[in-house]
Amino acid sequence: MRLIKWLLILCLLGGVYYGWSQSGGKNPLTPTLDRVHSAFSFRAHVESKLNRKNYVPLTQIPLVFQQAIISVEDNRFHQHGGIDLEAVMRAMLVNLQSGELVEGGSTITQQLVKNLFLSQDRTWSRKAFEIPLTFLMESQFSKQEILEMYLNSIYFGSGAYGIGAASQTYFAKTPTALTLAESALIAGLPAAPSLYSPLVDLTMAMQRQRVVLSAMVKHGYITQQQADQARRAALQLNH
């Protein structure tokens, strides 16, 4: 495990050097980091980045939806400190084999940091600068706060940012009213919103829903019987 950590650190340092050299010796994230450490606290800076339109408190988001998202996006969310070394090492092996960044191994916290502060580019330098911001996020916010912000900022396809907009867009209801079947369908969208949107391709959306339900069974959130019932449940989409 110690060897793995040192390899990870070396790769991150390499990414930092690459980003520094490509930017002519300038930190490409200096404007963002300067703003973070200005008169505003980090918490206040994060708050300023959030879109409060259709913002839904975690208490109004069904637990089954939270579990669905965690199952497919970051199943060790409550165990890691912002960076999942197992996922990172797995992604590194895939990326080294392909010769480019094709898999990120990002946690929910990393995705939130990327959405609020960074670009969507898959580069080593961007991944490297993402790390300190991720640790800062974990030190300043609880897991519940991080999950709430993530669920309110992630893109769910068809123009819907956040669970509030997504539940209205796809099922014309508030998040509190989502069923297991509906939750599993929406939770599967962030991986590829344009591909899995039920308003674009219902067949692909249903296939992704089954993947989410299987993941929930695997991680002990629901039983196989509940998953089977959800797969058979009729969905009333908001066309």
Per-residue pLDDT tens digits for 64-82: 999 999 999 999 999 999 9
Tell me the β-bridge partners of 161. 155
Read off the DSSP letter of residue 53.
T
Cα 185 from Cα 141, distance rounded (Å): 28
DSSP-derived 3-state class of residue 155: strand
For the chain, how long is the longest CA-to-CA vector? 58
8 Å CB contact between 127 and 104: yes
Mean pLDDT of 162-167: 97
Domains of the chain, start order:
1-60+82-154 (no CATH), 155-239 (1.10.3810.10)
- Picking from 194, 174, 172, the residue whose alpha carbon sits closest to that of residue 163 is 174
Tally of CB atoms within 10 A around 160: 22
HSE, side-chain direction, 13 A CA sphere, residue 159: 3
Of 113 and 99, more confident: 113
